[in-house]
Amino acid sequence: MLQSLEITATLTVPESPFHNLHWSGRLELSIDCFICERTGRTTLLEKGAERAVCSGSGRDGKHYAAARISAFDRGTAGGEIRLGTVVDFWWAPFHDAKRDAAATVLTRYPWVRHHLDYYCPESMESGTFSDQTNFVRPSPVSCQHCSVPIAESREAPRFRLLA
Ligand SMILES: [Zn+2]
Ligand SMILES: [Zn+2]
């Protein structure tokens, strides 16, 4: 059945110097994948793509997965940047033989990694970093060119299954 998962991420951003920080349209999300019948598979999603790529399990390799980003809402408020993403994916029950675990709609230990891009006004070069569920927080990020703080993650991304 078709499921929708909402993911909300927030980063605290210092006012200056302006690094034009923005969420890229790429993210990795753990999903219980009925195609390779493994729980907690890292699935690569790209905004605008009509399918995703499941990392599969070792020798079974990568494969296309029935998942896509259906909403991607960026917002800025009070020194924070936010991203609200909805991922639609097809879910069917199965039993993971290797882990001896039943699949769940929201995988048991949901995990996400968001990618971000920025532009350094000092060096006039672009840069990237990522924010993910299992970071130790607060997790500050500095510009890879001029070393000033450009963002800080204070809370892990949140997950909510939509009806
Ligand atoms: Zn898979
Ligand atoms: Zn910089």
- For ligand 1, an ion, list residues with CB under 5 A: 33, 35-36, 41, 54
d(CA 17, CA 151): 11
Q: How far apart are CA 19 and CA 77, in angstroms?
A: 16
The confidence score (pLDDT) of residue 113 equals 98
Amino acid 60: pLDDT? 66
Structural tokens at position 84: 């609200």
Ligand 1 center to residue 84 CA distance, Å? 24
Q: How far is ligand 1, taken at its centre, from the CA of residue 136, in Å?
A: 28
Q: Give the CB-side neighbour count of residue 109, counting CA atoms within 13 A.
A: 7
Cβ distance 77 to 96 under 8 Å? Answer: no
Q: Which ligand approaches the C-alpha of residue 92 most closely? A: 1
Model confidence pTM above 0.85 = yes
State the distance from the centre of ligand 2 to the C-alpha of 67, rounded, in angstroms.
Answer: 35
Is the predicted pLDDT of residue 163 greater than 90, yes or no?
no
Q: pLDDT band for position 17 (50/70/90)?
A: confident
Give the tens place of pLDDT for each residue, 120-141. 999 999 999 999 999 999 999 9
Distance CA 67, CA 91 (A): 9
Spell out the residues 6+ positions from residue 58 whose beta carbon is closer than 8 angstroms to its own: none
- Rounded to the nearest angstrom, the distance between the alpha carbon of 100 and the centre of ligand 1 is 16
